[in-house]
Structure 1
């Protein structure tokens, strides 16, 4: 690298800074004290080689990072494998570990076969990059876990996801120990998943398992413990929980899965021999994942309890099978809002009485479980009051007083619109229908010739006011004619081509006119289908309808 001096603008014969002939390669002799001082002051290691591959220059930082590099020796034979390999292969860069440090270097051509290697110590930079990648990986794992755990409210699916998600990212095997909710057998269950398994495996564990694995008893009680070795000798309870051929794990970490109010179980993560043990970040990540599993299990259990309660309500509140009524044909239709719990505030019922039947159809204020509870109260009250009063107008007055005098604080915001009617044989054939109304849409009569007319009953909502007034009307149905009682969920259904238009009274009457002569069951099915098509998948209010027809042979 030594070059001849040239004359220039400098007073000492050195080229001046503005001399056009000056270049980095001949600015200062490499062996001059000033050049050496400048090179040794750099934070980047510099190694130069001549055309024969011998080292010609090593600055101070290069001596510290690459003590094997000695001036005058051939670089390929030195002990710096990464530099030697790069030089041998003609590579222009390398990135490798050396003496516990991370080094990154590039080669520059100096001409005449000479080269300069510029080497930087990137250990800290590499460590920061690795930490960032690890943190991003952990964040991605938790995001994926949160998404998977949040997509289901089924307890069994949540437990299976808890076993499969940590493998192989956190462990070679995951074992979820959990207690199923009552009325299941109150013994620990486990779900196991190991890398390479086609699907999780389930099993029933003895209580002795909690004492066989260190930390498991504490985790089942909500406590935490650090990672440790797999027990040696291996208890039979633990051996039964391992998949065949898995071998004896080297390290195990047990974390509690804490749900709302109580521990939901424990997560056991095991790593095979040859894999590093759990460091502090692994432990923190495992604990965070186990906590999310516990919360998901708590939500799934709460949802399961709600579904169970809804089923109990459903069994008691769904419209009953309609009884046979002499001289009449009946059919009912029902849709709960959203059609999820299949319970709501609309209802109908038919009670056999002497000489015919009594029917009720109503719409309780509100939706969901709250409305369903009031629906049950109304129906139970009707079941009781009809034993002492079977005249529609008088019965609706008794029901109004019973609801209005209810002691609960929410009664003033809870009321129902209602139709109460009786069916009996009419002189000369057909049916006589007496209907009392309490603020409900008037029922519609469909005559044999297709004419549709309302039965005006009016009245005020039942249970809403202290001095409510109600009305009663009577209509005769000839054989083949029909009366339809319905809730406003039919006429107020919003849909159509514009998405927000109500089904309306006119469409309902037109549909009834076109269906004149159909049996009640066929007419109800047709109306429900028309409303469903009108909604086109949009949300709906509760719907109930009851069709009563005079039998042709009555």
Structure 2
């Protein structure tokens, strides 16, 4: 029969259209991990084949509000306070993923039926202006969590049939997975950025009677964090300088350095003697029952008005500092100790040195002396050989020179984390 043929052709065309739309949604949302761009791309793909109008509602976990996207202008975005009583059906969908459908027969943007699901005044006006409207609120649920609501409207005689609603729900399910992936990616990025800010080397304080400088170059330079660290803290006339190196690299080592820096600061709050600070750090790390250990050098520096500074120091498995005298002499200090975290009971023997005006004490990690190019190491001899040329120079100049010499020696080859901390006596 002619009528049956027409119905068959219409159904076949509709099936092809839906198959193409489904493919477009799956492919179109796979190309970005930016939540806003993914949402706006979804709204674009759904019109006009599935809906005449579309919008997206996503809770904002940082502010506690909800963000509305889309409408007549796809790039429209507005964050508003969350008010569950003002939009009960929308709130129910946000919480449970349960779909809702309302019919708006009049051009009143404040009608209870319309505001209960669309809510936003601007979006309500757009829908009411083209009434009658059939509006769907579909929960975007992925991995057991409802992360938002997809609002779809058809105008005039084009309403939602049961088959249309089922298809829209299937598309919403596919879109929810893509949106959730983008959300997780952004959240992890924010968490990583926050942790990275907390793990970056600190800004050096101004210290009366001393000039202080540092350099830090992690193995993974794009992360700006690694297993080496330095820290300076104290009060007028009594400062603790610490520099260390965790066994390991990258994010995992950086997380441990954050705990180590905090442990050192806490211990120094009660007693700034380096041997006591390292003893406390050793206990903390060993009690954690971790296989990780850290090498550290701690120096307590007390500048005096006459221009000299007294330095007490102790090391835990770390190279002792080098002193570059103002007259060009280079001294390798003789202080030794076991790496922190290796043994439960470890006593650290202190050492002492006096810095005169213009003298520089250089603390460094093994990314300097153990830098390797081919089968050769940079080594202590190479380090102490060029330092006399920088006698009397500012500490930032000394640190820059050491870093540059090491990088030239490496000639572009991979390197371990590099940290330098220099203290020059005299303002």
Instruction: Give the TM-score range, shorter chain.
Output: 0.7 to 0.9
Preserved contact between residue 438 and residue 471 of structure 1 (Cα < 8 Å):
no
User: Who is 1:181 aligned against?
Assistant: 61
For residues 64-143 of structure 1, the aligned pairs below 5 Å read: 100=6, 127=12, 135-143=19-27
Query: What residue is the counterpart of 1:269 in the other structure?
Result: 152
Higher Cα Rg, which structure = 1
Paired with 1:241 and 1:256, the residues of 2 have a C-alpha distance of 18
Q: What do residues 4-61 of structure 1 show as CA deviations (whole Å, max 9, x unaligned)?
A: xxxxxxxxxxxxxxxxxxxxxxxxxxxxxxxxxxxxxxxxxxxxxxxxxxxxxxxxxx
Aligned partner of residue 96 in structure 2, secondary structure: coil
Q: What is the deviation of 1:339?
A: 5.6
Higher relative contact order (CA 8 A, sep 6+): 2
Segment drifting more, 354-363 vs 333-342: 333-342
Which residue does the alignment assign to 1:112?
A: none
**Aligned twin of 1:332:** 214
Contact 1:170–1:286 (CA under 8 A) maintained in structure 2: no
**Could you tell me how far apart the structure 2 residues matched to 1:470 and 1:360 are?**
15
Which segments of 5 or more consecutive residues in structure 2 lack a partner in the other structure? none
Report the Cα offset of residue 446 of structure 1.
3.0
Match for 1:284 among 162, 167, 170?
170
Match of 2:317 among 439, 447, 450: 439
What is the match of residue 75 of structure 2?
199
- CA distance, structure 1, for counterparts of residue 214 and residue 237 of structure 2: 21
What's 1:464 paired with? 342
Q: Per-residue deviation at 1:362?
A: 1.6
Residues 93, 138 of structure 2: 8 Å contact kept:
yes
* Aligned mates of 2:299, 2:365 — CA distance in 1: 15
The one of 344, 357, 364 equivalent to 1:479 is 357
Q: Find the aligned partners of 2:50 and 2:420 in 1 and give their Cα distance.
A: 57
Alignment correspondent of 2:183: 297
- RMSD (Å) for aligned C-alpha atoms: 4.6
Match of 1:219 among 78, 93, 97: 93
SS in 1 for 2:19: helix
Aligned with 1:466: secondary structure? coil
Structure 1 pair 476–167 and aligned structure 2 pair: CA distance change class (3 A)? farther
Counterpart residue number, 1:522? 397
Number of the residue aligned with 2:333: 455
In 2, Cα distance between equivalents of 1:488 and 1:207: 58
- Residue 485 of structure 1: how far off its partner (Å): 0.5
TM-score by length of 2: 0.74
Partner SS, residue 175 of structure 2: helix
CA–CA distance in 1 between the matches of 2:16 and 2:379?
Answer: 62
- Shift of the alpha carbon at 1:440? 1.1
The alignment status of 1:231 with 2:104, answered yes or no, reads yes
Partner-residue secondary structure (3-state), 1:100: helix
Counterparts in 2 of 1:394 and 1:179: CA distance versus 1, 3 Å? closer
